[in-house]
Structure 1
Amino acid sequence: MTKRVILSLAIALCAWTTASAQQVAVKSNLFYWMTTTINAGAEVALSKHSTLGATFNLNPWTIGSDNKIQHWFVRPEYRYWVTEKYTRLFFGVHLMGGGFEVGGFRIPIIGDRFLTRLKTNYFTGSFVAGGVSIGYQFYLSPHWNLEISGGAGLARIKYHWEPTNPALRKKSYTNTVRYLPVPTEIGFSFVYLFNSKK
């Protein structure tokens, strides 16, 4: 039974991809790679002017022995394209959700004035957010675009913190919940278009 379901899904996926291949794009954000964050996204056209997509981001690394920048999040987004899908200016609305464990390091330049507890503590938690975005895709070739995008929104962040020094840690911590305006997208992405007719 399981094999039949998998085979049926595979056939349906192949048929869907063949029928609407020129409507599908995949992408990756270079800014996230600069922070060693693995990321990939896919987008499907709904009409001439709208698309629906999602990106997944994962950073599982610990830098050195105790500097953590671990996080993951998923970001689905609806976009309206002013000219035509995958072309020029777009506006979007999106949701986000994920988890994080960061700390043990100082942020250069601003670390002495802001987020000073980040150097001596780990912050662990989860978040959900919603926001709006704006962006632009530049044509490079029949199959490749370059996308620049930015977004902002409101996030609900639930977290607790603990000292990086194991001797100072406790067995239980109180979770803090905050609602904060946050940047939700900083994008400089290469986009690959399947069977594009451009």
Structure 2
Amino acid sequence: MRKKIILTVLATAFAALGASAQQWAVKTNLLYWAATTPNIGAEVALSDHSTLGATVNWNPWTIGSDNKIQHWFIRPEYRYWFSGKYTRFFLGAHLMGGGFEVGGFKLPLLGDRLLTGLPYNYYKGSFFAGGVSLGYAFYLSPRLNLELSAGLGLARISYHTEPVNGPRPAGTTNRVRYLPVPTEVGVTLVYLFNAKK
């Protein structure tokens, strides 16, 4: 199911990018790569001041024998650019959806305070979020930008816990929480096609 969703989003994004009259871009968030999360995105200009894009992020790693930071999510976003598409300041509205399985370790600085029992349990579940973002695109060359961005939103998280060393207890039900969360922290490299700034 997860692969079908990702493939559908990518196929839709690249089909939209096929319109030769539109300026489009591919991008990757360097901060996510630093956190061992491969990611790629595509964005297409809708007008002189607006763009529509989507990113796919996937972290499949298990560190050591039992420390998991696995997650995936898709993040579509509409952006309004104040100076013109792909130029300077933008304001965005986005959605996010994905799944996660994390646990078997303590969070640096936060320890056991954010997710109680994280060193001894896996938290498995899914989330859906909506939020707003603000960012700035720095011109590097006619085809290359560097974007700085940050976003906040509200997330609905559905999850259950399983012991690190053992099976899921019988009768375990999902818990649901609504939390304000950061929905974007980005230092993103953007390659522009059909560049017409």
* TM-score band w.r.t. shorter chain: 0.7 to 0.9
Distance in 2 of aligned mates of 1:105 and 1:15: 41
Q: Deviations over 1:49-84 (max 9, x none)?
A: 000000000001111100000000000000000000
Q: Which deviates more from structure 2 when the two are superposed, residues 45-54 or residues 170-179?
A: 170-179
Q: 1:95 to 1:190 in 2, by over 3 A?
A: same
Question: Which secondary structure does the structure 1 equivalent of 2:161 belong to?
Answer: strand
Q: Which residue of 1 aligns with 2:101?
A: 101
Q: Which residue of 2 aligns with 1:193?
A: 192
Question: Which secondary structure does the structure 2 equivalent of 1:118 belong to?
Answer: coil
Q: Deviations over 1:160-183 (max 9, x none)?
A: 01111217x423411100111000
Distance in 2 of aligned mates of 1:73 and 1:15: 21
Which of 14, 18, 21 is the aligned partner of 1:19? 21
Q: Which protein is richer in helix relative to its size? A: 1
Distance in 2 of aligned mates of 1:13 and 1:27: 16
Question: Which secondary structure does the structure 2 equivalent of 1:166 belong to?
Answer: coil
Q: Which residue of 1 aligns with 2:65?
A: 65
* Aligned-pair identity (%): 68
Distance in 1 of aligned mates of 2:17 and 2:60: 35
Q: Is the 8 A contact 1:56 1:75 kept in 2?
A: yes
Q: Is the 8 A contact 2:79 2:93 kept in 1?
A: yes
Q: Which amino acid aligns with 1:179?
A: Y
Report the Cα offset of residue 13 of structure 1.
Answer: 5.2
Q: 1:14 to 1:154 in 2, by over 3 A?
A: closer
- Give the root-mean-square deviation of aligned CA atoms: 2.0
Q: Which residue of 2 aligns with 1:157?
A: 157
Q: 1:163 to 1:37 in 2, by over 3 A?
A: same
Q: Which amino acid aligns with 2:81?
A: W
Q: 1:156 to 1:13 in 2, by over 3 A?
A: closer
Q: Which amino acid aligns with 2:140?
A: L
Report the Cα offset of residue 17 of structure 1.
Answer: 4.2
Question: Which secondary structure does the structure 2 equivalent of 1:110 belong to?
Answer: coil
Q: TM-score, normalised by structure 2?
A: 0.88
Q: Is the 8 A contact 1:106 1:116 kept in 2?
A: no
Q: 1:158 to 1:14 in 2, by over 3 A?
A: closer
Unaligned runs of 5+ in 2: 1-10
Q: 1:35 to 1:13 in 2, by over 3 A?
A: closer
Report the Cα offset of residue 15 of structure 1.
Answer: 9.7
Query: Which is greater in Rg?
Result: 1
Distance in 2 of aligned mates of 1:181 and 1:144: 33
Distance in 1 of aligned mates of 2:17 and 2:187: 32
Q: 1:59 to 1:80 in 2, by over 3 A?
A: same
Report the Cα offset of residue 16 of structure 1.
Answer: 3.5
Question: Which secondary structure does the structure 2 equivalent of 1:106 belong to?
Answer: coil
